[in-house]
Amino acid sequence: MKKNKIINFLLLGMLIVLVSASLIGCQNKDNENSNNEVAETESNRVKEELVLVEREIASNTDPNFYPGSNHYLCNGAAETLFKIDEKGNVNPMLAKDSKQLDPKTWEISLRPEAVFWSGEPVNSKAVIKSLERTRKTNSRAISSLEGMSFTEKDDWTIEVKTESENQPVPLNLAYMELAIINADKAHDKVETMDMTGMYKVVEFEPKKRIVLEVNDNYYGKKPIIKRIVDEEISDNQARTLAAMSGEADIVRNISNESVAELRDNSEIVLYNIPASNTETIYLNLKRPYLQDEKVRQALSWGLNREELVLLGTENLSIPITSWLSSNPKYETERNIIYTKYDLEKAGQLLDEAGWKLNAEGKRTKNGEILKINLMTWGQDKALGEAIQSQWINLGIDAQVNYGDYSLIEQARETGEWDALIEAWQTYGSEYSLLSGQFSPDGVANYGKYNDDKTNQLLNELKTATDEDTVKKLSIEINRRVTEQAPSIFICPRVETTAVNSSLKGFKGHFRQFENVITADLYFAE
């Protein structure tokens, strides 16, 4: 009897094992199916959706307010009338063609087939309304539209009159803040946005993400990828991790410190085309001590630019001393005036300005210590710290504040700032660029530089009619400003983009920001 009980117990155990194995087998099969579903979902994402990660995305649904237009060019939602290719040539984009009729008159032909997302025509009236709305609301666009008036000749032809002769109208209208929108729409939410790009905004979360889907009304080449997710990740390391993990397909604003880490990753392709922009230390000339030219010159002589490039950009950039010289057309101006690091000369200029070294090695004048607070943002943290160190060696009580760009904007509005770092593009119409930086009302003249001779040269440049004269005057302005040092110029800003190796069709461009999402992108099978 006891033996039978044991046998029955063993049989029951075997039955339990068999049932358990069956259940586990079913569970494994369910897990396998689940994993297959995940893999299939991932595969669909790869084929249908592209994730673009940036340091910052558009903060407003209205492209006519900065920063807006340029971000929507980046993610494929917006278009300008003209576009600059990788060789620097200006080509029609939303416009069909252009021609100069006389020294002060241009004619722009539009594409009758082009329509807004809503299906409304992109005719002459709509384009002019858009440009004039931009002129009123976007301070960054003013210099590109200066001296131009627009008239509707017919539904698909616009006449442009310019104040000065031979103004480069197509080049000016290729500026990244001049996206064409339907100005009759409110653009205050996703439902009222109306642009012309190949992708249409379907979701918008401020400071988080923008979701775009293919615009079925697009007049041009239709993109292969159906959906774009444009995400904001402000932290440098987090963006790098997004690239390394494959969570993002394109990651812009890769920090200089992360380039070496990504360079040997076979699943990532890095694009680092030298940009036409200049890392500039803007000085607040309303500060009494910065009104002294000798102090400003000392600040420039006291910077070792080669060391700044090494420490601040991981040696990815090149040292320059003048603003315009990051433009390939003016590369001969890269090493002028402040041709070497000269701590002795810098100290001599400060002595002459009355700022003497005290027993503690600090520069003082009438009992006041020479102090400078430098504001930085983005990937300029290391650069700011390197500048701080070099100015401290000069005897200056230098501080550096790193934070969100909005803090810099607030400081400029209140006037409570000493120095800040920012980089503006140097490629385009010389008058628009230089007047924007150095004319009394220039949109980027943060320090309120106002020099009679420079103003005179700018007026001459505005009316210059031939290329040789334009170049000669531009160089003269560039050199005068460099010598007076209302701003200090360091190097071209490094802009690195990481692209997943499975994504094909991406092209490097010296204006990469406007050339990220294109219709040529596709994922390899």
Q: Cα(59)–Cα(338) distance, rounded to whole angstroms? A: 39
Pairing verdict, β 356-357 and 277-283: unpaired
Query: What pLDDT score does 17 carry?
Result: 37
CA distances 297 to 150, 343, 361, Å, are: 43, 11, 20
3-class secondary structure, 119: coil
- Least confident segment among 30-34, 132-136, 298-302: 30-34
- Write down the residue that tokens 């060391």 correspond to: 307
What phi and psi values does residue 110 have, to the nearest 5 degrees? Answer: -100, 170
Which of 457, 451, 459, 460 is closest to 477 using CA atoms? 457
Q: Per-residue confidence at 513, pLDDT binned at 50, 70, 90? A: confident
Does 337 score more than 60 pLDDT?
yes
Q: Cα(64)–Cα(193) distance, rounded to whole angstroms? A: 11
3-class secondary structure, 23: helix
Q: Cα(290)–Cα(237) distance, rounded to whole angstroms? A: 36
Cβ atoms of 512 and 71 within 8 Å: the answer is: no
Query: What pLDDT score does 67 carry?
Result: 73
Helix, strand, coil abundance in the chain, percent, nearest 5: 40, 20, 40
Tokens of 76: 């494929």
Q: Per-residue confidence at 379, pLDDT binned at 50, 70, 90? A: confident
Q: Cα(107)–Cα(499) distance, rounded to whole angstroms? A: 39
CB neighbour list of residue 154: distance below 8 Å, 6 or more residues apart: 124
Q: At 369, which helix (H) or strand (E)?
A: strand 368-369
Cβ atoms of 302 and 386 within 8 Å: the answer is: no
Does 19 score more than 60 pLDDT?
no
Tokens of 326: 């990051």
Tokens of 520: 């040529």
Query: What pLDDT score does 7 carry?
Result: 36
3-class secondary structure, 145: helix
Does 21 score more than 60 pLDDT?
no
Residues 21-39 have a mean pLDDT of 43
3-class secondary structure, 284: coil
Query: 407-416, pLDDT tens digit by residue?
Result: 999 999 999 9
Q: Cα(513)–Cα(516) distance, rounded to whole angstroms? A: 6
Residues 43-71 have a mean pLDDT of 83
DSSP 45-98: HHHHEEEEEES---S-S-TTSSSSHHHHHHTTS---SEEE-TTS-EEESSEEEE
Q: Per-residue confidence at 370, pLDDT binned at 50, 70, 90? A: very high
- What pTM was computed for the model? 0.79
Q: Cα(355)–Cα(494) distance, rounded to whole angstroms? A: 35
3-class secondary structure, 349: helix
How high does pLDDT run on average in the chain?
90
- Least confident segment among 136-145, 239-248, 353-362, 417-426: 136-145
Q: Cα(472)–Cα(455) distance, rounded to whole angstroms? A: 15
Q: Cα(260)–Cα(52) distance, rounded to whole angstroms? A: 21
DSSP 286-340: TSGGGG-HHHHHHHHHT--HHHHHHHHHTT-S---SSGGGGSGGGGGGTT-SS-S
Q: Cα(485)–Cα(393) distance, rounded to whole angstroms? A: 20
Cβ atoms of 500 and 268 within 8 Å: the answer is: yes
DSSP class of residue 249 equals: S
3-class secondary structure, 126: helix
Q: Is 37 exposed, middle or buried (0-12, 13-18, 19+ CB in 10 A)?
A: exposed
Query: What pLDDT score does 220 carry?
Result: 94
Q: Per-residue confidence at 47, pLDDT binned at 50, 70, 90? A: low
Rg (CA), the chain: 29
Q: Is 500 exposed, middle or buried (0-12, 13-18, 19+ CB in 10 A)?
A: buried
Query: 86-95, pLDDT tens digit by residue?
Result: 888 899 999 9
Query: What are the residues facing 474 on neighbouring strands?
Result: none
